[in-house]
Amino acid sequence: MIAPWALAGYELPHHSFPLGVDGWWRGPKIARADCDAIGLQHGGELPDGSQRLRPLDWLKFEQLHAPHLDANADCTPNSPGWVAARLLSARHAFAAPRPAPTWMAILNLTPDSFSDGGKLASESDLIRTAINSVQHGAKWLDLGAESTRPGAKPVSNETQLSKLLPAIELLLACPELTVARIKISIDTQSAVVAKACLGAGANMINDVSALSDPEMAQVAAAANAKLTIMHMRGTPADMQERTQYDFLLGDVFDELLLRAHRAMISGVSPKRLFLDPGIGFSKTAEQSQRLMGQLHIWRASGFQSLAGPSRKSFMAPFLNNAEPNQRDLGTAGAAALCASAGVDVIRLHTGEKIWDAAKVAWGCTSTNLE
């Protein structure tokens, strides 16, 4: 079955995902007459100009339109067959089996991160935290030397590398981490920093700006590295002034998939791309809550997904406005929500007990109980 990102006109907006109401799906604009002709119900327009669409019979719809999923088929963008192909490819991606999620442990090397700034200032603290994370189930260590909290200012490449390169060397020389085959991710918006860290042994770039540096995708492609691109509008300094959306789910989905398209054009394999909806970035608390409740839609993109709900402010209203370092039980609930929704990588400050909640949630929701 052809993946959504392999279809003609993939870079066009109004990608398909389930709306969760009576079987309706989001889809591109299509005339009502064309809907009738290809076996679709038309449920009206969404605020961003996309449409509510629903096949009258999924099985019959697939039998009729499966040829449009052939990569060699003549399927002109915006034609009825193309709309059908978008719906079918997204549905197949959405229904595909999902592996167990993995935990990415956050290791902030900054003095001003929102919940744990300055706690890993020494080599012994860094190693101890890394080993503890691995012992509790972490498969990734995400190193960052530039805070991306709201209002944070940029950090120079030199300053980032002065912290990241020694940390990578230290972690890769640790026997306990080597035996565990731990992988290292670098949280940076700079292609210069990313290139140097990949050369030092890192395995993934975690770019919260979704390729604001025009060289980032080429760096990832040249190193055959994994690449996470996160949805954010603007920069950490002004992102919370950019929270106006026509249709939150659709706008975030389309904006991020457009960056994924750019990454693929630059040579990044779609199988090495991870999409992060950016909880807390360019979103109000209420918007982040809504995205957390709809994390399952990212499975329809055909890409792997990553989410970072750990200690974020969206959960504060449910926790008597607790401070970030008092939100670990709330984070356990958020991690379980991510796991049950099929998120592939869950980014957390700590996994002790929290990761148990995620594993149980995934185990229960991934089992066929019929």
Active site residues per annotation: 312, 347
DSSP SS3 for 357: helix
Beta-bridged to residue 142, according to DSSP, are 106, 185
Cβ–Cβ contacts within 10 Å for residue 329, how many?
Answer: 14
Q: How far apart are CA 326 and CA 320, in angstroms?
A: 10
Among 31, 8, 18, 4, smallest CA distance to 58 is for 18
- Beta-carbon contacts of 23 under 8 Å, excluding residues fewer than 6 positions away, are 54
Q: How far apart are CA 276 and CA 263, in angstroms?
A: 14
Q: How far apart are CA 288 and CA 296, in angstroms?
A: 14
Cβ–Cβ contacts within 10 Å for residue 293, how many?
Answer: 11
Cβ–Cβ contacts within 10 Å for residue 199, how many?
Answer: 12
